[in-house]
Amino acid sequence: MINPSEILQTIKMIDNQKLDIRTITMGISLRDCASFSGEQSRMKIYDKITRYAENLVKVGEDIEREYGIPIIHKRISVTPISMIAEASDDDNYVEYAKILDKAGKAVGVNFLGGFSALVHKGYTAGDRKLIASIPEALDVTDIVCSSVNVGSSKTGINMDAVREMGHVIKEAARLTADRDGLGCAKLVVFANAVDDNPFMAGAFHGVGESECVINVGVSGPGAVKAALETVRGESFDVVAETIKKTAFRITRAGQLVAQEASRRLNVPFGIIDLSLAPTPAVGDSVARIFEEMGLEKAGAPGTTAALAMLNDAVKKGGIMAASHVGGLSGAFIPVSEDEGMIEAVEVGALNLEKLEAMTCVCSVGLDMIAVPGDTSAETISGIIADESAIGVINNKTTAVRIIPVPGKGVGESVEFGGLLGRAPIMSVSKFSSADFVNRGGRIPSPVHSFKN
């Protein structure tokens, strides 16, 4: 049970420290929507999404109003479309993206994830068609998000897929050049993707999930920073304990929202994702937590250690506050979505290589990174390969969401607006990865993956 004192503590965090629930995400299985007729399959998809999620937004708004807890986004994730569409006779899956976009808009959600393929060990015919459709699909839709899983700790890294995704990202940027490559902001390349992620752009409803489920993603960097302000000068033992206690309270707010949403929608509760998710708003930054710990800027020596401790303490505090924890669960470090990270890049404290090092100890990976528009597909693939290797070797989820901004270079920035924020263009290595990337094949799984 959640008692009144916890609610009062939460209200204080909401009023003064920008605490919010980042998302209620409804996962919907589309496995029964497959059909030889693509048109019939898409009709089933539209009908099922609009039926199950009809009241999702209203329920979220009702909970916000009654409990005073801001819920920033309401979202939907669906079964990876490559698995559904490959039963059809269609050669191109763009129409599936369009029907997802139409269904999501009909129920009023902010984003819909699941235009996805899982190719960590190899391709099916449906996987190939979906990946080829991604650039156009992201160009002609507004709220549809796409992801491709190219590696796992059990299978290694599919380097054919890594090579292809570099070209897919470049094409998505080209087709959305009039929007500064916005299509790439809705595309994630994963290693060790999880089935119950409520966050975009990488959410999809895993094949082992139930028919329909409610997953909730919390936030709270501002609340953590405010808590640390009360223990300035104290040892890291005190810092870690303070973060744990704060994460517990943040997660209890998420548990409350999840319980209410589940009950009112008559849909099973899935998981709470414990990730600290920043926004471009001042006072809602993970980078500012590092500064409160004593670093001049994010990226200074010690940043990786600070992030490791933050990530661990958030998990230790949050896991006791929720009945089921899952998703990604840690600290996000997206550049464009964190005003402190943006400043750190602009003053030269933070570069791509340091960000990569930080991803060894945090959730996800290189997230919302803008790079020069003339960055080659092979360089992007090399970045994906490096990040995938971190995930595969360390048995954790890693990802790349990178935007080669057409017509822009280092020193410029791009404004996406909303939660996507503003991204300074970061420099990349000028040395070629082409011969490495073009080898193709599969990098084998690490020896410690053999655990049956």
Dihedral sign from CA coordinates of 166, 167, 168, 172: positive
Cβ atoms of 147 and 116 within 8 Å: the answer is: yes
Instruction: Mark residue 161 as left, alpha or beta (left: phi above 0; alpha: psi -120 to 50; beta: remaining).
Output: alpha
Dist. CA 292–CA 84, nearest whole Å: 48
Instruction: Mark residue 122 as left, alpha or beta (left: phi above 0; alpha: psi -120 to 50; beta: remaining).
Output: left
| pTM, full prediction | 0.92
pLDDT block averages, 10 residues each, the chain of length 452: 57 61 93 95 97 95 87 93 95 96 96 96 95 97 96 96 97 96 95 91 92 90 88 94 89 87 93 80 82 94 93 88 80 82 91 91 84 96 96 92 95 84 90 95 87 70
443 in helix, strand or coil? strand
Task: Report the pLDDT value the prediction gives residue 105, as an integer from 0 to 100.
Answer: 97
Which element (helix H / strand E) includes 269? strand 269-273
DSSP symbol at 404: E
Task: Report the pLDDT value the prediction gives residue 17, as an integer from 0 to 100.
Answer: 53
| Residue 37 CB coordination number (10 Å) | 13
Task: Report the pLDDT value the prediction gives residue 102, as an integer from 0 to 100.
Answer: 98
Task: Report the pLDDT value the prediction gives residue 282, as an integer from 0 to 100.
Answer: 63
346 in helix, strand or coil? helix
Task: Report the pLDDT value the prediction gives residue 123, as an integer from 0 to 100.
Answer: 94
Domains in the chain, start-ordered, CATH in brackets? 22-191 (3.20.70.20), 218-449 (3.20.70.20)
Dist. CA 369–CA 386, nearest whole Å: 15
Cβ atoms of 130 and 81 within 8 Å: the answer is: yes
Cβ atoms of 307 and 341 within 8 Å: the answer is: no
Spell out the SS3 assignment of 211-261.
Answer: CEEEEEEECCHHHHHHHHHCCCCCCHHHHHHHHHHHHHHHHHHHHHHHHHH
Which element (helix H / strand E) includes 202? none
